[in-house]
């Protein structure tokens, strides 16, 4: 006969971890790095605009070209190493597969349709729906493109293969800009979604 064991009340009540500590640290460091990189990048862009507009000085960082470059170069180490840490931890712990797989066009389409009709549930915060998976995987690739095109713009002579793959130095600038615009577009939608489901923010701060 098995004797029923009593569950200690504290353990029974403790909610399960949704986001491990390393993930939360990487996420918030990334948000800081992105803020530094984007706003200082806009100041650098203003010194030699690619298009017929520039960014208002109220949303740029660094004050002038030299100051912005210093911020951009300081931020790039944080963005690069933190991003590498996030990707490696996700791959090595098997979390990448657990959280972001499977990912199918049919599933994305279905979840997107449900979301647009206001019928997509996000009650179980441990699981991402297909639209979230697609958006997060997209922004991971976008981050890699940002770093690689940034390397070409920074040291185009030292990275000739990368430069040619990007279509040359001038095209790499456009690639870098487009990747930045995609990241900003992601961040805007991401913040709207967080505002729609605010309990996800508590989980990303406290882990539970």
Minimum distance, C-beta of residue 95 to ligand HEM, in the bound complex (Å):
7
CA distances from 117 to 110, 111, 113 (A): 11, 10, 6
Nearest to ligand HEM of 45, 86 (CB atom): 86
Minimum distance, C-beta of residue 46 to ligand HEM, in the bound complex (Å):
22
Cα–Cα distance between 45 and 49 in angstroms, integer?
A: 5
Minimum distance, C-beta of residue 9 to ligand HEM, in the bound complex (Å):
28
DSSP sequence for 83-136? HHHHHHHHHHTTHHHHHH----HHHHHHHHHHHHTT------TTS--HHHHHHH
Nearest to ligand HEM of 23, 166 (CB atom): 23
Nearest to ligand HEM of 108, 165 (CB atom): 108
176 closest CA partner among 156, 196, 192: 156
Nearest to ligand HEM of 50, 189 (CB atom): 189
Cα–Cα distance between 60 and 42 in angstroms, integer?
A: 6
154 closest CA partner among 41, 42, 49, 52: 41
Minimum distance, C-beta of residue 7 to ligand HEM, in the bound complex (Å):
27
Within 10 angstroms of residue 49's Cβ, the number of other Cβ atoms is: 11
Minimum distance, C-beta of residue 181 to ligand HEM, in the bound complex (Å):
13
The CA-CA-CA angle for residues 46, 37, 196, to 5°, reads 110
| Interface residues toward ligand HEM, by CB under 6 A | 23, 27, 30-31, 34, 99, 125, 136, 139, 183, 187, 190-191, 194, 200-201, 203-204
Nearest to ligand HEM of 131, 172 (CB atom): 131
Minimum distance, C-beta of residue 8 to ligand HEM, in the bound complex (Å):
28
Nearest to ligand HEM of 136, 159 (CB atom): 136
């Amino acid at each position: 006969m098995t004797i029923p064991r009593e569950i200690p009340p504290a353990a029974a009540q403790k909610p399960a971890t949704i986001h491990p500590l390393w993930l939360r640290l990487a996420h918030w460091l990334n948000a800081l790095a992105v803020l530094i990189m984007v706003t200082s990048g806009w100041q650098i862009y203003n010194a030699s605009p690619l298009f017929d507009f520039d960014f208002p000085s109220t949303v740029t960082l660094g004050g002038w070209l030299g100051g912005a470059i210093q911020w951009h170069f300081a931020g790039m180490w944080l963005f690069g190493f933190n991003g590498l840490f996030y990707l490696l931890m996700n791959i090595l712990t098997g979390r990448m597969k657990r959280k972001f797989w499977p990912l199918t066009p049919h599933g994305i389409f279905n979840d997107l349709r449900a979301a647009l009709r206001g019928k997509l549930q996000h009650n179980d915060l441990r699981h991402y729906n297909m639209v979230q998976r697609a958006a997060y995987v997209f922004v991971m690739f976008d981050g890699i493109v940002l770093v690689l095109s940034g390397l070409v713009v920074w040291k185009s002579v030292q990275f000739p293969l990368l430069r040619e793959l990007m279509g040359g130095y001038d095209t790499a600038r456009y690639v870098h800009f487009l990747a930045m615009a995609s990241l900003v577009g992601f961040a805007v939608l991401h913040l709207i979604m967080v505002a729609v489901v605010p309990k996800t923010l508590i989980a990303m701060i406290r882990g539970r």
